[in-house]
């Protein structure tokens, strides 16, 4: 797990003035990565780092050779910058934790120094468009919140909401990488087989129970060779960073199809991620102890370590908001639906990686893991409408006067995440949003 170093100094300030504002997601202590280009100019996509309301163009830095003086290891930093100039971050991710840290340290020095030579490499975020930051070869979605698993299980199995294996093994399924898009995704309401209550036969219909899932995405960096497991003590060095993730779900399609093999068409039509990946190194000040109740089974040895117990959780606020078409037309601000925290997760990032590879499965640079819906211990911390409306039985009344059990056409769902701690700046993940369109013909 990353140790604190000079990049975490809470007193650091940047010559990019917007990075010094207390409400920014992107102070100099953050420096998250994305792939971007200036909108409308036909440029190639390339890597960038957020600083305040600007993007530091890493391809331009590499071409201008303005970073070498700020680097302790110029060769390693030059290789990292060259990799970041490509249209995906896969090559940079594959370089490993030493390269990620070296580049981040050099960028911190450059942006906090008095030399503003890099100013020519700044692009306003308002002028940019983004794409998925890596070529995602595989996507696995987990079920890591016990509060979500229990609440959903209670809807279908009131007497036995949590299946017996849940507290022993991180549950996951393989999703569809091809339908993952970056924030701003618009998608048509999906169709699927649905078996309405009281009918004998299923019908092909547009989903009537479209939902969101408030999740954290985990981007794999170096990965592992086929047949070689990643031990829990090394798992986080294989993780490049975290993003926000919305795993859109058609609950009525899911209810009919998920037995015996789990989700399929109910979840593979759209997944939306934030453009910014916050490195695990940036999150080091916001780590928390990972705990497991003494009443619960303790993890098997391959899923446990003193390091995990000491600082395996991440104190990260997560929030979901809705903006209906009516609210947009009236100029109303989005309304918060719920807020939770990633530290409530029953299974940690390192446990997800260690378990995924214990059978020899090979993770590769750019692979994505989803945490599963991150709900907290109270009803107000639920990370989906399925929970917030108790399976659609208790509609929510919005400030616009509208009601929702599940998402309507025109609804926009917005997820945000951030870390804050006394004595340290707030660092954020930006936001991820997507909009539901009417079903196609």
Query: Which of 83, 109, 130 finishes a domain?
Result: 130
Residues 146 and 275 in one domain: yes
**177 pLDDT more than 70:** yes
Catalytic residue from among 148, 344, 355, 356: 148
Average of pLDDT values for 218-239? 97
Where does the pLDDT of residue 159 fall: very low under 50, low under 70, confident under 90, or very high at 90 and above? confident
Query: Which of 96, 130, 164 finishes a domain?
Result: 130
Predicted structure pTM score: 0.97
Q: What is the pLDDT of residues 311-341, one digit of tens each?
A: 999 999 999 999 999 999 999 999 999 999 9
Q: Give residue 218's domain range.
A: 139-437
What is residue 64's predicted lDDT score, i.e. its pLDDT? 81
Q: What is the pLDDT of residues 29-50, one digit of tens each?
A: 999 999 999 999 989 999 999 9
Q: What is the pLDDT of residues 206-217, one digit of tens each?
A: 999 999 999 999
Residues 300 and 334 in one domain: yes
**1 pLDDT more than 70:** no
Q: What is the pLDDT of residues 251-279, one digit of tens each?
A: 999 999 988 888 899 999 999 999 999 99
Residues 176 and 48 in one domain: no
Residues 421 and 346 in one domain: yes
Residues 261 and 408 in one domain: yes
Mean of the per-residue pLDDT values of the chain: 95
What is residue 192's predicted lDDT score, i.e. its pLDDT? 96
Where does the pLDDT of residue 73 fall: very low under 50, low under 70, confident under 90, or very high at 90 and above? confident
Lowest mean pLDDT among 55-69, 125-139, 273-287: 55-69
Q: Is residue 358 part of a domain?
A: yes
DSSP string, 30-83: T--EEEEEETTTTPPPEEEEEETTEEEEHHHHHHHT-SGGG-SSHHHHHHHHHH
Lowest mean pLDDT among 1-15, 237-251, 348-362: 1-15
Give alpha helix (H) positions in 191-338: 251-257, 306-311, 325-330
Q: Is residue 361 part of a domain?
A: yes
Q: Is 148 a catalytic residue?
A: yes
What is residue 176's predicted lDDT score, i.e. its pLDDT? 95
Residues 162 and 272 in one domain: yes
Average of pLDDT values for 55-72? 84
**235 pLDDT more than 70:** yes
Where does the pLDDT of residue 282 fall: very low under 50, low under 70, confident under 90, or very high at 90 and above? very high
Where does the pLDDT of residue 117 fall: very low under 50, low under 70, confident under 90, or very high at 90 and above? confident
* Beta bridge partners of residue 140, listed in sequence order: 174, 369
What is residue 259's predicted lDDT score, i.e. its pLDDT? 85
**157 pLDDT more than 90:** no
**70 pLDDT more than 70:** no
Split into its structural domains, the chain has a count of 2
The domain that holds 112 is classified in CATH as: 2.30.30.230
What is residue 69's predicted lDDT score, i.e. its pLDDT? 67
Lowest mean pLDDT among 68-82, 157-171, 311-325: 68-82
DSSP string, 166-218: TTTS--EEE--GGGEEETTEEEEPPEEEE--TT-SS-EEEE-S-EE--EEEEE
Q: Is residue 428 part of a domain?
A: yes
Q: What is the pLDDT of residues 394-426, one digit of tens each?
A: 999 999 999 999 999 999 999 999 999 999 999
Where does the pLDDT of residue 355 fall: very low under 50, low under 70, confident under 90, or very high at 90 and above? very high
- The dihedral through the CA atoms of 97, 100, 106, 110 has a sign that is negative
What is residue 91's predicted lDDT score, i.e. its pLDDT? 98
Residue of 108, 55, 114, 57 lying closest to 81 (CA atoms) = 57
* C-alpha–C-alpha distance, residues 145 and 79, integer Å: 38
Q: Is residue 8 part of a domain?
A: no
Query: Which of 107, 130, 153 finishes a domain?
Result: 130
Q: Is residue 1 part of a domain?
A: no
DSSP 3: P
What is residue 57's predicted lDDT score, i.e. its pLDDT? 97
**294 pLDDT more than 70:** yes
Residues 116 and 156 in one domain: no
Residues 121 and 155 in one domain: no
Residue of 194, 211, 196 lying closest to 404 (CA atoms) = 211
Residues 104 and 220 in one domain: no
Q: Is residue 70 part of a domain?
A: yes
* C-alpha–C-alpha distance, residues 123 and 297, integer Å: 51
Is-contact 139 218, C-beta < 8 A? no
Q: Is residue 4 part of a domain?
A: no
* C-alpha–C-alpha distance, residues 25 and 238, integer Å: 25
Q: Is residue 269 part of a domain?
A: yes
Residues 334 and 407 in one domain: yes
Residues 287 and 250 in one domain: yes
The domain that holds 374 is classified in CATH as: 3.90.850.10
More confident residue, 280 or 262: 280
The pLDDT > 90 percentage for the chain reads: 90
Residues 144 and 203 in one domain: yes
3-state secondary structure of 357: helix
């Amino acid at each position: 797990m990353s140790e604190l170093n000079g990049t975490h100094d809470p007193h650091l300030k940047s010559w990019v003035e917007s990075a010094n504002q207390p409400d920014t997601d992107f102070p100099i202590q953050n420096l998250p990565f994305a792939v971007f280009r200036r909108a409308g100019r036909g440029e190639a996509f390339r890597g960038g780092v957020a600083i305040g309301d600007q993007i530091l163009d890493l391809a331009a830095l590499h071409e201008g050779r303005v970073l070498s003086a700020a680097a302790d290891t110029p060769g390693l930093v030059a290789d990292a910058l060259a990799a970041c100039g490509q249209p995906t971050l896969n090559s940079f991710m594959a370089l490993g934790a030493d390269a990620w840290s070296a580049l981040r340290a050099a960028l911190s020095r450059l942006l906090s120094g008095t030399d503003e030579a890099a100013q020519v490499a700044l692009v306003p975020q308002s002028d940019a468009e983004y794409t998925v930051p890596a070529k995602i070869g595989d996507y696995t979605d987990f079920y890591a919140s016990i509060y979500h698993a229990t609440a959903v299980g209670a809807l279908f199995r009131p007497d036995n909401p949590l299946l017996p294996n849940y507290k022993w093994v991180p549950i996951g399924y393989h999703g569809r990488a091809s339908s993952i898009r970056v924030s701003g995704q618009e998608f048509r309401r999906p169709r699927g087989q649905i078996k309405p209550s009281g009918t004998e036969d299923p019908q092909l219909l547009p989903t009537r129970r479209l939902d969101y899932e408030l999740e954290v995405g985990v981007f794999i960096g170096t990965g592992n060779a086929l047949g070689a497991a990643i031990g829990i003590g090394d798992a986080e060095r294989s993780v490049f960073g975290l993003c926000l993730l919305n795993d859109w779900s058609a609950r009525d399609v899911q209810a009919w199809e998920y037995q015996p093999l789990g989700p399929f068409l109910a979840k593979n039509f759209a997944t939306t991620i934030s453009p910014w990946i916050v490195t695990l190194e940036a999150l080091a000040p916001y780590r928390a102890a990972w705990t497991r109740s003494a009443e619960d089974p303790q993890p098997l040895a391959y899923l446990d370590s003193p390091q995990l117990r000491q600082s395996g959780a991440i104190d990260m606020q997560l929030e979901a908001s809705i903006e209906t078409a009516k609210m947009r037309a009236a100029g109303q601000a989005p309304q918060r639906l719920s807020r939770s925290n990633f530290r409530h997760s029953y299974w940690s990032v390192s446990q997800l990686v260690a378990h995924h590879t214990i059978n020899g499965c090979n993770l590769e640079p750019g692979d994505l893991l989803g945490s599963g819906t991150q709900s907290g211990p109270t009803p107000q911390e639920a990370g989906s409408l399925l929970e917030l409306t108790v399976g659609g039985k208790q509609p929510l009344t919005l400030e616009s006067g509208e009601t929702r059990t599940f998402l309507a056409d025109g609804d926009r769902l917005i997820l945000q995440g951030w870390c804050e701690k006394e004595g340290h700046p707030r660092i954020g993940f930006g936001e991820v949003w997507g909009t539901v369109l009417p079903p196609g013909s």
